[in-house]
Structure 1
Amino acid sequence: METQIQNLQDLKTRIAFLELKQLDDELVIKQKFQSIKDTLTSPLKFLKRIGSMVGITHNSGAATHSTSSTKADWVTNFGRVFLPLLLNKTLLRNRGIIVKSLVSILSQRTVNSMSFNKNVLVNWIDKATGFINSTKKKVKPAKQIDYGIPPGSETY
């Protein structure tokens, strides 16, 4: 579909038409991209809404805050992963999937860097070892038997 350009006015009109067509095509591509993006992120948005209803995540304006204000150390991350596994294997052994899921979500929520970190773990270990050491029976030192010879004397 060739357009016959005969003078300068036709050229300027064609350039303006092509610029408008380019803007229209860009708008259509952006809308399609946004539609695809919304389709792919809708399950995530659904889970975030469910989480905010349960109280797992909370949004403040445009920024999302994590469950703790300080950075989590390795003990906190370890606790977040293995505490739900430990609960599922011990206390929740013959429970349903819904109960296990809810307890896992709540246990991950409660393990934060303010309440469970290296210092807290060290304090717990110190208390446990102090308790174990205090419950051990103290052994009395053996009495020395006096044979009547002073220890510093020279005997031949």
Structure 2
Amino acid sequence: MKKIRKYNIRNLEDLHAEVASLKAEYMMQEGVLFSDTKVYLKQFTLGGFIKKYATPSAFLKIDDKLNLSSSVMSFVLPFIMNTTLFRGSGFLTKTLIGLASNKVGKTLDAEHLSAIFNAVKSWFSGSRKKKTKEGADVDYGIPPDSETY
């Protein structure tokens, strides 16, 4: 619906004043519209998505609908499985592996991923302490004929 304005213009000065006020109103509305559009478009940039979803709490399970780590894993895990382990497999095998790893990827969340990472890390790091032989005497640097022995 178009807004009808009534102008009270009687002479040339009133006309110029009305044109100036309309230009000022136009410029003000343009600035407001430009800033609102800028804010609206900023939420759809890569930085806006990172600020919204890539927080530490977003990687944890907020609710069943939004679980960023399991969503990423449901896409990445089938790709990794098909390109590394099952590279020479046929179409049917790759499809079945893709479906199975997609389901497994959806169940993984940040806690499961960190537990798996820590388990794999413990396999490679292990305990690096030298074990002493139980039967051997420990040499403390004191000779056995010493009076303090």
TM-score by length of 2: 0.40
TM-score by length of 1: 0.38
